[in-house]
Copies of this chain bind each other. A is one copy, B any other.
Amino acid sequence: MNSLHFTAESSSNGMVQRDFAVGEVPGVLWSPAPGADRAPLILLAHDGGKHKKHPAMTGRAHRLVTGCGFHVAVIDAPGHGDRPRTARDEREKLALAGARAAGEPVGPIVLRHNAHVAELVVPEWQATLDALQELPEIGTDGQVGFFGVRMGTAIGVPLVAVEPRITAAVFGLHWPDDLAEKAKQITIPIEFAMQWDDEHIPREAGLALFDAFASKEKTLHANAGKQGELPRFEADSAVHFFARHFGRAVTLPA
Contacts and interface: CB of A to CB of B under 8 A. Distances in A.
Copies of the chain in the assembly: 2
A225 B218 CA distance: 9
A236 interface: yes
Given A250-B254, A254-B249, A254-B250, A233 B224 contact: no
A222 B196 CA distance: 13
Contacts of A217: 223-224, 231
Given A236-B240, A244-B233, A196 B220 contact: yes
A220 B221 contact: yes
Interface string A214-246: 011111111111000001010011001001100
A243 B240 CA distance: 15
Contacts of A244: 233
A108 interface: no
Of the four ranges (under 10, 10 to 19, 20 to 34, 35 or more), the interface on chain A belongs to 20 to 34
A113 interface: no
Interface string A45-59: 000000000000000
Contacts of A220: 196, 220-223
A185 to B, nearest CB: 16
A211 B207 CA distance: 13
A221 B219 contact: yes
Nearest to A217: B224
Contacts of A237: 237, 240
Contacts of A240: 233, 236-237, 240
A238 B249 CA distance: 18
A222 B224 contact: no
A38 interface: no
A244 B231 CA distance: 12
Contacts of A84: none
A222 B206 CA distance: 13
A60 interface: no
Interface of A: 196, 207, 210-211, 215-225, 231, 233, 236-237, 240, 243-244, 247-250, 252-254
The 9 closest A-B pairs by CB, nearest first: A249-B254, A220-B222, A218-B224, A219-B223, A221-B221, A233-B244, A219-B221, A217-B224, A216-B224
Given A218-B223, A219-B222, A247-B254, 16 more contacts: A196-B218, A210-B222, A216-B225, A217-B224, A218-B224, A219-B221, A219-B223, A219-B224, A219-B231, A220-B221, A220-B222, A220-B223, A233-B240, A233-B244, A236-B240, A249-B253
